[in-house]
Structure 1
Amino acid sequence: MEYGEYGSIERELYIDAPPEVVFDVLTDPEHIRDWWSAENDFEATPGRPGSLTWTNKDSGVSKSVPFTVVASDPPRTLSFRWTHEEGENAGPGNSLLATFELAPAGEGTTLRFRESGYRERGWEAAVLEAHYNDHRQGWDFYLPRMAAAAERAAGAR
């Protein structure tokens, strides 16, 4: 792959749950613990900082990632900036921008996901490729888990 190919990660998936349920699963701390396996300080309020914390079950080592909500328009849009530099506030130039767009699709929801900002970080090519591939694999794992959690939540209503 060329350096220029690491601009963004984009995914689209259908979720058999209405947008209101999907948005709730994306933003409710209990649901986030379920699908993202992260302890979190999350509130879908623009400008509000928060954190996601993952703990390695084998080593017990925790990694906390700061983020800032950029936009929240329930049940249509959620975006946040996050950085993997502890103690740093996530802003343009030092973070990645994750955007979730939800659109009604029959009885369910079409989720359009995009994460951008890789090239803007200024990483050398090998670091850029490693971060991009790590996130690509992560989203390919976690987005289907989020969809399954939303479908379970919709069935429980």
Structure 2
Amino acid sequence: MNHETIERYVEIDATPETVFEVITDPEHVRQWWPDDANFEPAPGSTGHLVFGDPSSPDAQVPQITIVAVEAPRLFSFRWVYPDGEAAIPGNSLLVTFELSPRGSGTVLHLSETGFADKGWEPEVAEAEYGDHCAGWDHFLPQLVDYAPTVGARA
């Protein structure tokens, strides 16, 4: 089994502009994905996500580095998951959201790559890949439900 790329396609009943806002503004990102998020959506900027209670030592705090921001069609970042060092090529996974208009809504194509670059043993790579698949399968429906409740900024 290839554990290199995760791909998901979802249709969202919101414009690409609204979906772009929901995936790039930490205030919105917190509503459908991590428990906390702190980043500036600008290429080269760094930040972090928090999964779990931010005050708990058990919280996972992956670092992220923004790679591309092209409103309203593309947003990508690297992240070191579960957490630790700065996210750079070779030690991180690359997440890309591509947005395409469809009727009055948006098709979001998510891809996550870089599992082979991590140097994990095969069983670790398979477990991490499975965890990330399950994570996206859990969080993307929350994005699909949340985005239509948000009006794009004028």
Q: TM-score scaled by structure 1?
A: 0.90
- 1:82–1:96 contact (8 Å) kept in structure 2: yes
- Over the residues paired in the alignment, what is the CA RMSD in angstroms? 1.9
Q: Mind listing any 5+ residue stretches in structure 1 that lack a counterpart?
A: none
Give 1:141's match in structure 2, choosing from 131, 138, 141: 138
Counterpart residue identity of residue 85, structure 2 = E
Aligned residue number for residue 81 of structure 1: 78
1:126 aligns with 2:123: yes
User: Which residue does 1:25 correspond to in 2?
Assistant: 22
2:12 corresponds to 1:15: yes
Which contiguous aligned blocks of 4+ residues in structure 1 show a shift greater than 6 angstroms? Answer: none
Q: Does 1:48 align with 2:45?
A: yes
Aligned length: 152
Deviation digits for residues 37-91 of structure 1, max 9, x if unmatched? 321112210000010011159x773111101000000111000000026441111
**Residue 31 of structure 1, CA deviation:** 1.1
1:66 paired with 2:63, answer yes
Which amino acid in structure 2 is aligned with residue 17 of structure 1? A
**Identity over the aligned pairs, expressed in percent?**
46
What amino acid is aligned across from residue 34 of structure 1 in structure 2?
Answer: Q
TM value normalised by structure 2: 0.92
> Does residue 114 in structure 1 map to residue 111 in structure 2?
yes
- Residue 32 of structure 2 aligns with which residue? 35
Aligned mates of 2:8, 2:83 — CA distance in 1: 27
Q: CA deviation at 1:134?
A: 0.3
The answer to whether the 8 Å contact 2:34/2:49 transfers is no
How far is the alpha carbon of 1:27 from its aligned partner? Answer: 1.3
Q: 3-state SS of the aligned residue for 1:64?
A: coil
